[in-house]
Structure 1
Amino acid sequence: MNTTNSTGAKRILIIDDETDICLLLSGLLRRLGYQPTCAHFIEEGRKCLTTQQFDAVFLDLNLPDGLGFDLLPMIRGAQANIKIIMISAFDGQAERKRATDQGADYFIGKPFTRRSVETALESMQV
């Protein structure tokens, strides 16, 4: 499904409880030509996913109301073609493997760089 808006920008949902991360990532995505939307809780992200279509989601691992892992099946069920990029300060092999096993397409450790975000989006053709 093509989710570009009237300006042609692809839509990306950011689910992260850190306001600074949301602001930084939103600004970067806007400069790259995307239309970002932020949610700070799993439940807020779930509502966004049921009311809007997105091309990709940046999903934090640790959120105030649960683990990002818990949202992966819902995302896949609601929007099968969405690309999921897990982001986390917990950047170990166990977290990366679990993210991939449970449906994430890509994993970026925090702190991330502009290049790591661009690489993730390019590799998944978002």
Structure 2
Amino acid sequence: MRLLIVEDAEDVCDAIAESLSRLGHVCDKARTLADARQFLGVQPFDLMILDINLPDGSGYDLLKEIRARGETLAVIMLTARLGVDDRVDALDAGADDYLVKPFDIRELEARLRAVARRRHGETDAILEAGDIRFNTATRQVTVGEQICELTRREQSLLEILLSSRGRVIAKEELHSRLFGLGEEAGLNAVELYIARLRKKLPSASLEIRTLRGLGYQAFVSGTARRA
């Protein structure tokens, strides 16, 4: 997933980004509301991890702004406040979940997975397509009984495709979800990773169709629809 981490404590922000990057997520970091608004203005994100107390205002204000615009961006709020009212306010303002500081990074990872599953209509951590199984918690990919070794970015690509089966995904969207703003990777890098994934998956269950001028469409064999 493409994540925006809005947290002014540099050590906390860096620790979150490092941990989530190891899981294959692309993380951009903002230390202020102004920085966060700038990121949101130029780049779509799958989820935002948003601290409440920021140097130039409250994370509540940013959350209310994006909800007022009708944006459905998933948001996990971070707060040092223990009061029930604070947590209720976060959820009522449109947060998908909240986490009280200090927290264990493993809990944040689990809550992120849970929010992503709800957003995609999934009920557990397993994404499946025929004989392909991807455990989003352990990041293990199996084809039948065989473990399939994928790089973190290949795992991220597979997760996107499995979560969006049947939908045509533009190359630009895949690029934005696979690479950070500071990474020097052109659109052709998407084609490279699609080709790698096709070669590494020893299964005919998942077909990845290239639709020239439109993007890519993944589907379980025998269930394809024309774009």
TM-score, scaled relative to structure 2:
0.49
Tell me if structure 2 keeps the 8 A contact 1:76–1:103: yes
**Within 5 Å, which residues of 2 pair with 1:4-23?**
10-23=1-14
Counterpart code for 1:11: R
Structure 2 portions without partners, runs of 5+: 118-227
Report how far residue 78 of structure 1 moved. 5.3
Counterpart code for 1:59: L
Pair 1:73 & 2:64 matched: yes
Counterpart code for 1:21: V
Pair 1:51 & 2:51 matched: no
Tell me if structure 2 keeps the 8 A contact 1:50–1:78: no
Pair 1:91 & 2:85 matched: no
Quote the residue 1:118 is aligned against. Answer: 109
Q: What SS is found at the alignment partner of 2:116?
A: coil
Report how far residue 75 of structure 1 moved. 2.4
Distance 1:77 1:39 in 2: 21
**Residues 77 and 48 of structure 1, relative CA distance in 2, 3 Å threshold:** farther
Kindly, what percent of the aligned residue pairs are identical? 38
Task: Indicate the structure (1 or 2) with the bigger Cα radius of gyration.
Answer: 2
Q: What SS is found at the alignment partner of 1:81?
A: coil
Q: What SS is found at the alignment partner of 1:87?
A: strand
**Residues 78 and 49 of structure 1, relative CA distance in 2, 3 Å threshold:** farther
Pair 1:106 & 2:92 matched: no
Report how far residue 91 of structure 1 moved. 2.7
Structure 1 portions without partners, runs of 5+: 1-9
Report how far residue 79 of structure 1 moved. 6.9
Tell me if structure 2 keeps the 8 A contact 1:13–1:57: yes
Distance 1:107 1:86 in 2: 4
Counterpart code for 1:48: F
1:79-101 C-alpha deviation (Å, 9 max, x unpaired) = 72311000011132111000000
Q: How many residues align?
A: 117
Distance 1:29 1:110 in 2: 17
Quote the residue 1:5 is aligned against. Answer: none
TM-score, scaled relative to structure 1:
0.86
Pair 1:62 & 2:53 matched: yes
Distance 2:14 2:112 in 1: 18
Report how far residue 77 of structure 1 moved. 4.6
